[in-house]
Amino acid sequence: MDLRATLIAALRLQVEWGADEALADAAIDRFAAPPARARTEAAPAPTPQATANRPLPTPVAHAAAIAAACSSLAALREALARFDGCPLSDTATNLVFNDGNPEAGLMLIGEAPGAEEDRIGKPFVGPSGQLLDRMLASIGLDRGGYLITNLIPWRPPGNRSPTDAEVALCLPFLHRQIALVQPRLLLLLGGLAAKALMGTSAGITRLRGTWREIEIPGLAAPLPALATYHPAYLLRSPGAKRLAWADLIALRRRLDVLDK
């Protein structure tokens, strides 16, 4: 095989494996040795006893402590932008935090950003977002009527499904965001968000369409949440739109009762 064909085959393999975005002009050698640190004044070494007794924070406990220290959405966005505990932030172009109206009383939660969202830094702006906008417009809602965010705020490479470890790391930030927004209702888009927030392994077909009260750390009372199909699934499976429509009607009715 000549060099050109070899390079094309190597590029094709990378795209198939999810490396489908050019993130910077120059390549980064992630295997290079880290630069030598500047010498700083050494802190007194802890005694062996103190080291042995200190509990090591797990990555999830560390994420939860950072999230809990945020007292506003701006502080939470800032903390996520600085958080280096989730490897997804290394491969994403932008943090995708939220969009819409935090005062509206309704919060929508999707799965994770796709390519368009990653490029622009806003949730649900790609094809599934456009379908969602049309669905919500049919019950009189635009982005002034809800706040929309994702379970995972960084795009997984090649749109692969987030791992359990990534979900566990990001969940404390999402819980904190919900606690700061204090919505009256949640709409969960797709199985991943529904399972994570409802704390179950049941699939979306079982979870959708029924209001459930869910506990959110930091909120005094359980929050009514409705799960429905993810718009990306509806793009692939138009037959499911009938059930998604029933879910939208259930949401509209509940909003109307709250608005009375």
Summarize as ranges the residues that interact with ligand URA (CB under 6 A): 110-114, 117, 123-124, 126, 128-129, 150, 232
What residues have CB less than 8 Å from 120, skipping those under 6 apart?
A: 94
- As a whole number of angstroms, the distance between CA 141 and CA 41 comes to 58
CB of 158 to ligand URA, least distance (A): 14
Cα separation, 197 vs 194, in Å, equals 5
Handedness of CA 154, 158, 161, 162 (dihedral sign): negative
Nearer to ligand URA, 117 or 166 (CB): 117
How far apart CA 251 and CA 193 sit, in angstroms, is: 17
**Which of residues 68 and 102 has its CB atom nearest to ligand URA in the complex?**
102
- Name the minimum Å distance from CB 126 to ligand URA: 6
Min dist CB 28 to ligand URA, Å, is 26
Residues 174/177/181/186 CA torsion (nearest 10 deg):
0
Rank residues 62 and 143 by Cβ distance to ligand URA and give the closer one: 143
Cβ-closest residue to ligand URA?
110
- Which CB sits closer to ligand URA, 61 or 235? 235
* Nearest-approach distance from CB 157 to ligand URA, in angstroms: 15
